[in-house]
Amino acid sequence: MWRDLAPIGRHSGTGGYRRFAWTGADADCRAWFEAQARARGLAYEEDRNGNQWAWLGAASAADVAPGEAVVTGSHLDSVPDGGAFDGPLGVVSSFAALDELRRRGAAPAKPLAIVNFGDEEGARFGLACVGSRLSAGQLTVEAAHQLRDGDGVTLPQAMERAGHDPDAIGPDPDRLARIGAFVELHVEQGRALDLTGDPVGIASAIWPHGRWRFDFHGEANHAGTTRLADRRDPMLTYAATVLAARENAEPAGALATFGKISVEPNGVNAIPSLVRGWLDSRAADQETLDTVVAAVERAAVERGARDGVDVRVTRESFTPVIEFGHALRDELAKILTHAADRRPGGAREVPVLGTGAGHDAGILSATVPTAMLFVRNPTGVSHSPAERAAEDDCVAGVTALADVLEGLACR
């Protein structure tokens, strides 16, 4: 599976992945998913929001009684120059875990599904977890229609060009109501498991996080003739705002990142007329996050007044804190400890860890019992071509996921 996926959307220069929603690379990933499903004799379907499903023990979601389905999966899209594991590890491990269940001769008493959620990273349209948000009713159809990529292509246009009916999109409560448990396996995006020395952990919570667009409006002018005192340079205000983000986040124990900017007119010898910067900020609790973002905004406006630059801030997305339910978490811990007990080396307590990264599991957790498994990342690097997971740890992840699916669906 890895070998087939490896070339899709890989940039020859950076070695990173560019698998953006509803592009050719995404279509290739989706074709891969469908082929994996069909090769295993699973029933394949796409839901109204373009999320892909592969069913064992049901012909489609419509076949499943409320609360019956045990579902696993993740996403196949990537950030710009992303790593190989963020997303795909969860999908590949889901198929491998199903193969493992069959090898064990485990007979699921409940319908099992593997899902590939569309547009998790939001790399193209700016909003993360679009597929799961639409299904969970956390993104309205009207708001989805407003999403545009950098070339001005709207989400419905992109969907239509990729062969998905954009008029179908919308909440899917009926489908979600059929899910009794959703478990997403994901590469860890930090080093907590490396520090505890465990290949696999269970997620406790996801930090509240959001994206804010800062528009700095100045005045374009000649770089060689405009006296410094006469300039209204939005790049200056932007630069001061980046420093303010760091200065406010650090003492609060929060995170603040400007990872994307656009500059107009983007000429070497012109003072910019507009700098647009996107702030990604996250913290352990919402009060801290609100305080940090408000302070950055204040700093930007104050600096803008000094520079003659008009500052406008728009919150583009926000995801509140997510605490995964204790019942399913505890059940996973019990299943994994019990399974380890029967293997050489004996039982060991499975570490429970929080994360600052968003996931479809976090979106679903509002309506569906949801849990996550993390697989050790030896360097903690993610959203980069340097992202890694050791093969042994990936196998441990598949084994853990198979144990969990067996425990949840096969009795």
Task: Give contact residues for ligand HGY (rule: CB under 6 A).
Answer: 120-121, 128-129, 357-358
Residue corresponding to tokens 């379907």: 45
* C-alpha 320 chain-centroid distance: 14
Least Å from the CB of residue 104 to ligand HGY: 32
Least Å from the CB of residue 177 to ligand HGY: 24
Least Å from the CB of residue 228 to ligand HGY: 38
| CB closer to ligand HGY out of 169 and 361 | 361
- Residue 87 interface partner, choices ligand HGY, Mn ion, none, CB cut-off 5-8 Å depending on type: Mn ion
Least Å from the CB of residue 219 to ligand HGY: 34
Assign residue 266 a region: left if phi > 0, alpha if psi is -120 to 50, beta otherwise?
A: left
- Residue of 214, 8, 11 whose CA lies nearest to 91: 8
Assign residue 275 a region: left if phi > 0, alpha if psi is -120 to 50, beta otherwise?
A: beta
171 touches 366 (CB < 8 A): no
In angstroms, the CA 133 to CA 135 distance is 5
Least Å from the CB of residue 79 to ligand HGY: 7
DSSP state of 348: -
Least Å from the CB of residue 189 to ligand HGY: 8
- Residue 172 interface partner, choices ligand HGY, Mn ion, none, CB cut-off 5-8 Å depending on type: none
302 touches 294 (CB < 8 A): no
- Residue 406 interface partner, choices ligand HGY, Mn ion, none, CB cut-off 5-8 Å depending on type: none
The interface mask with Mn ion, positions 335-374, x = CB under 5 A, is: ----------------------------------------
Least Å from the CB of residue 360 to Mn ion: 8
State the amino acid at position 141 in one-letter form.
V
| CB closer to ligand HGY out of 185 and 299 | 185
Structure tokens at 280: 């990604």
Chain residues 143-172 in contact with Mn ion, contact rule CB under 5 A: none
Least Å from the CB of residue 75 to Mn ion: 6
| CB closer to ligand HGY out of 183 and 322 | 322
Strands (E) in 208-273, as ranges, are 209-217, 221-222, 255-264, 270-271
Least Å from the CB of residue 109 to ligand HGY: 33
| CB closer to Mn ion out of 189 and 241 | 189
Binding of residue 119 to Mn ion (CB under 5 A): no
Q: How many CA atoms lie within 13 A of 116 on its CB side?
A: 29
Q: Which residues pair with residue 370 across a beta bridge?
A: 182
In angstroms, the CA 316 to CA 314 distance is 6
CA dihedral 165, 171, 176, 182 (to 10 degrees): 80
Binding of residue 122 to Mn ion (CB under 5 A): no
Antiparallel, parallel or unpaired: β 112-117 and 69-75: parallel
Assign residue 403 a region: left if phi > 0, alpha if psi is -120 to 50, beta otherwise?
A: alpha
| CB closer to ligand HGY out of 101 and 292 | 292
| CB closer to Mn ion out of 87 and 210 | 87
State the amino acid at position 288 in one-letter form.
T
- Helix ranges (DSSP H) in 308-376: 326-341, 360-364
In angstroms, the CA 72 to CA 109 distance is 16
- Residue 277 interface partner, choices ligand HGY, Mn ion, none, CB cut-off 5-8 Å depending on type: none
In angstroms, the CA 380 to CA 251 distance is 22
| CB closer to ligand HGY out of 211 and 231 | 211
Least Å from the CB of residue 211 to ligand HGY: 9
- Residue 128 interface partner, choices ligand HGY, Mn ion, none, CB cut-off 5-8 Å depending on type: ligand HGY
- For 29, 185, 205, the CA distances from 91, given in Å and listed in that order, are 11, 8, 21
Neighbours of 174 (CB within 10 A): 10
| CB closer to ligand HGY out of 122 and 180 | 122
The interface mask with Mn ion, positions 64-93, x = CB under 5 A, is: ----------------------xx------
Chain residues 251-280 in contact with Mn ion, contact rule CB under 5 A: none
Interacting residues with Mn ion (CB under 5 A): 86-87
